[in-house]
Amino acid sequence: MKLIECPRDAMQGLHEFIPTEDKVRYINQLLKVGFDSIDFGSFVSPKAIPQLRDTAEVYAQLNWQDSPSKLLAIIANIRGAKDAITFEGISYLGFPMSISETFQQRNTNKSIAEALNELSEIKNLCESKGKKLVTYVSMGFGNPYSDPYAVDLVGQFVDILVTLGSDVISLADTIGVSTPENIKYLFTSLSKSYPSVEIGVHLHSNPVTALEKIQAAYESGCKRFDGAIKGLGGCPMADDALVGNMATETILAYLDEKQIKTSINKEAFVKAMQMASTIFPAH
């Protein structure tokens, strides 16, 4: 079971800048918890995501060498990938691909075709420095733009990403429209088609439907879950009423109830929860 904590996603849409020292303090605490990976920052234009303009400064103060967790950074183009691969402690580069043409333009300022071309070069850059590529299938459960969507379309898209060499594919419910039924159908069908590919979920949800979505993914064989403490965050590029990330504590509660072992240090996790209450603006 791989649990990925996403403070980057929790922070990126906030208007009030979180001081660098607070980010460092928080992420260093997360590095003690036992997550598989920490999605800690991004190498994108500070004009697009000003909250994360200090990612390099944050990285310089992280105790990643003393942690079993790996660092993941989001990139949106080749320039960002070239920056990210120079950091020894960053193991994963995450790239947002969307099956919605509208959202791909909003999110990365390029078409799907252009993004796929860049993804191929980004994969080569990752291999040159021993990094792994995580590709997010944004709007993977539907979109609000009336762009074409179908489960078969997702499958065709994943086939392209596998061909391009993505090490991990994460099905992203960018706007919280997934249901237990389509999570089960999509994840089960993709897992059967690509048994050797690591496929995870990055689900956005409101608290009411969160647990049933986690259960649907787990029962379909998912062993990789993204989450954010307190369910904070969402995608600032989605341009609609944001739903938060899947709350990490909800994921852990489900796994505990099912007596599924994880590598989480509960005491360190509680400290991180307490710290989040002081660092993030009140919600």
CA within 13 Å, CB half, 266: 6
Query: 235 an active-site residue?
Result: yes
Q: Which residues pair with 200 in a beta bridge?
A: 170
Report residue 270: phi and psi, to 5°: -60, -40
Q: Which residues pair with 2 in a beta bridge?
A: 224
Give the helix, strand, coil percentages of the chain, each rounded to 5.
45, 20, 35
Q: Count Cβ atoms within 10 A of the Cβ of residue 161 and give its class: 0-12 exposed, 13-18 middle, 19 or more buried.
A: buried
Rg (CA), the chain: 17
Interior CA angle at 202 toward 229 and 211, to 5°?
65
CA dist 283 and 271 (Å) reads 19
Q: Can you list the alpha helix ranges (DSSP code H) found in the chain?
A: 7-11, 20-30, 55-60, 78-84, 101-108, 112-128, 151-164, 180-193, 207-219, 248-257, 266-279
CA dist 195 and 258 (Å) reads 24
Q: Which residues are catalytic?
A: 235
